[in-house]
Amino acid sequence: MIASLLLQYIALPSLVFSAALTKSILFEDSTIISFDEATQTPSVLRNASLLVTNDRIAAIFNSSSNVTIPPGTERIPAHNDIISPGFIDTHRHTWQTVHRTLGSNSTIIEYLFRYSSTALASQIFDADVMYYSQLTGLCEALNSGITSIVDNASGLFTEAIAKAAVNASIDSGMRTFMAYSIREGESWFPVKAQIELFRELGSEKRVRQSLVEMGLAYEGFDGGSTEVVQTVINLARESNISVFETHFVGGVLGTDNSPSRLAQLGFLNETFPIIFIHADGLTPADLTLLRNTNQYISLVPEFELHHGQDIYNPSLALDQASLSVGTHYSTSGDIVSQARIWLQTVRSWITTPRMREFKIPVNNPMSANQAFLLSTRSGGLALRRPDLGVIQVGAKADLAIFDGAAPGMLGWRDPVAALILHSNVGNVKHVLVDGVWKKRDGELLCGTESDLQGNFLKSTRKVQQFWEEMAPTVFEGANPITGAQYVQVDQVDVVRGPLNGY
C-alpha cells in the first residue's frame, strides 16, 4: 500500500502544459503524513518529496522513483520538516475576534445573551469593525496551519456588515465555507432581505472566483415559525450550497436542532453536508441517523470545557465527528490545541472510572493518530470533500509544514505525535492554501494590504469600551427557554484566606 501511495503520480493536464501556465513547488526530501486508504490510518513517508502544481498535489515520491519535475519548479529544501495536511475547522464565529480576552471568566449564559448576541453587537459593529475583526481572526487561523474554515459569520447585522465579512474572507485567502445564517425576528434585517443578500453574494463573480463558497446556517428548527423553517429548507435545496450548519445543544440550554428533529422535518438525508455543532444532547437515535445519512457533528472542546458543558455523549460519535474552535473570544485559535484537549479529555473519561475501581489500565483508549485524523481528514469528510485534509495525489494543495528542528520538536521519531503532543503554533513554518503561500519561513502572508494591526486595534478599543460601559448581565430565577434554574457555583481561590478577587 505504501508503495502505491509513494509512487502516486498522475499526469494532471497542467503538468504537460508549458511552464508559463503552471506553477510548481517541490518540497524535497521531507517527512510527509499521508493517508493509507487500506488501513484508514495516517501513513508516514520518510525521505519523500511532494510536488505541488497549481492548486493540487501533483506527485509524492522518493529518490527511487522517476518523476519528471516541470521546468521552473520552485525547490524548497524540507529535510527537517514535517508536512501535514492543513487543519480543518468545521465551525467558527470568526467575527468575534475583536472580543478576545473579554470573556476570560465568562459563563455560557453570559456568552449567549451578551457576547454572541447579534442584537447587542449590531450596536457597535460597523463594516470596518467587522472587516478587521474577521480578517485578523482568519490570519490567526492561517498562522496556525488551519487551511479550511466553516465560518458562521455572515447574514447578520446589516447588509454592509455582512459584505465586509465576505470581503475579509476573500482577502484572507482562507478556504472558507461561509455558513450564512438566516435569522428570524431582526426588525432591521428581515428574512426576505437576508435571502436576497445571500443570493447576491453567491452570484457575485468576485466571490465565485475566490476560495469562499456559500453555505447556510439556521438555528430555528426547534422553535422557528413553520413558514421560515420551510423557506430555509427550500432555499438550501435550490441553492448550490457547500454546507449547512446548525447548533445542536439541548439539555438545560435548549437549541435542540438535533438530527432527530431534522429527520422529522424530512431535512437530513440531503445531497449537501449538514454539520451539527456541539451535539451535547446527542442520543443513540441521533447517532444512528448521522451514520445512515453520513452527516457529521462538530466538536468544540475548549469552548465547551471553558463553560463546563457536558460533552460526554458526543465522544460516543467520533466516527461522525470533526473538530472546531467555535469562537476564539476566550480560547486558543488553533486546531492542534483542540485535538490535544479532546484527546486527553477522552482518555481521562475512559481510564479514570477504571482506576476508581482500583484497576490499572494496560492500554490507552485513544491514540495521537486518532486525534490527528479528527483535525484533518474528518473535517474533509464532514464537508464531503475527500480532497481536503489529506495528502494524496490529486488532493488540494492545502498544507501545514512544521519545523521539525525547533527546540520542542527536535528528536521526534513519530511525526504525528510530534504535531499533536509537542508542537506549538510557532513551529508552523509554511502554510499553503490552494497552492498559494499564506505563511513562508515563519512569515505570515495575510492581511498585508492594509494596516491590519492598526485598524484592528482601533476596532478593539471601540468594541471593548462598548462592553465595559454596558451593565453586567444578571441572571436570576429560571432560563426563559428551558426553565432551568440559574445557580451560583463554588469559586476557586489559590490564595489562602477569604475569597480575594478572582
| Positions that interact with ligand NAG (CB under 6 A) | 2-3, 6, 46-47, 62-64, 66, 68, 93, 95, 102, 104-105, 116, 118, 127, 131, 152-153, 156, 160, 163-164, 167, 181, 183, 213, 217, 219, 240, 242, 247, 269, 292-293, 501-502
Three-class DSSP category at 443: strand
- For CA atoms 460, 462, 467, 468, the dihedral sign is positive
Compute the half-sphere exposure of residue 492: CA atoms within 13 Å on the CB side of its CA: 2
For ligand NAG, give the closer residue by CB, 3 or 495: 3
Among the listed residues 238, 239, 245, the one whose alpha carbon sits nearest the alpha carbon of residue 219: 245
Distance CA 464, CA 129 (A): 12
For ligand NAG, give the closer residue by CB, 153 or 343: 153
Distance CA 409, CA 416 (A): 11
Whether 136 and 97 have beta carbons less than 8 Å apart is answered as yes
For ligand NAG, give the closer residue by CB, 182 or 282: 182
For 252-326, strand residue ranges (E) read 274-278, 296-299, 321-323
CB of residue 365 to ligand NAG, shortest distance in Å:
30
Furthest CA-CA distance within the chain: 76
For ligand NAG, give the closer residue by CB, 160 or 355: 160
Whether 311 and 282 have beta carbons less than 8 Å apart is answered as no
CB of residue 200 to ligand NAG, shortest distance in Å:
12
- For CA atoms 212, 184, 271, 372, the dihedral sign is positive
Beta bridge partners of 81: 403
For ligand NAG, give the closer residue by CB, 267 or 346: 267
Distance CA 43, CA 60 (A): 12
CB of residue 263 to ligand NAG, shortest distance in Å:
9
Distance CA 502, CA 492 (A): 8
CB of residue 356 to ligand NAG, shortest distance in Å:
33
Distance CA 235, CA 199 (A): 10
CB of residue 121 to ligand NAG, shortest distance in Å:
8
Whether 114 and 120 have beta carbons less than 8 Å apart is answered as yes
For ligand NAG, give the closer residue by CB, 22 or 242: 242
For ligand NAG, give the closer residue by CB, 203 or 348: 203
Binning the chain into helix, strand and coil, the percentages to the nearest 5 are 35, 20, 40
CB of residue 379 to ligand NAG, shortest distance in Å:
16
* Pairing of β 399-403 and β 428-433: antiparallel
CB of residue 67 to ligand NAG, shortest distance in Å:
8
CB of residue 216 to ligand NAG, shortest distance in Å:
11
Whether 118 and 219 have beta carbons less than 8 Å apart is answered as no
CB of residue 359 to ligand NAG, shortest distance in Å:
40
Three-class DSSP category at 288: helix
For ligand NAG, give the closer residue by CB, 387 or 421: 387
For ligand NAG, give the closer residue by CB, 152 or 370: 152
CB of residue 371 to ligand NAG, shortest distance in Å:
25
Neighbours of 77 (CB within 10 A): 11
Among the listed residues 82, 83, 73, the one whose alpha carbon sits nearest the alpha carbon of residue 52: 73
Distance CA 24, CA 54 (A): 6
CB of residue 362 to ligand NAG, shortest distance in Å:
31
For ligand NAG, give the closer residue by CB, 332 or 344: 332
* Pairing of β 74-77 and β 81-85: unpaired
For ligand NAG, give the closer residue by CB, 6 or 419: 6
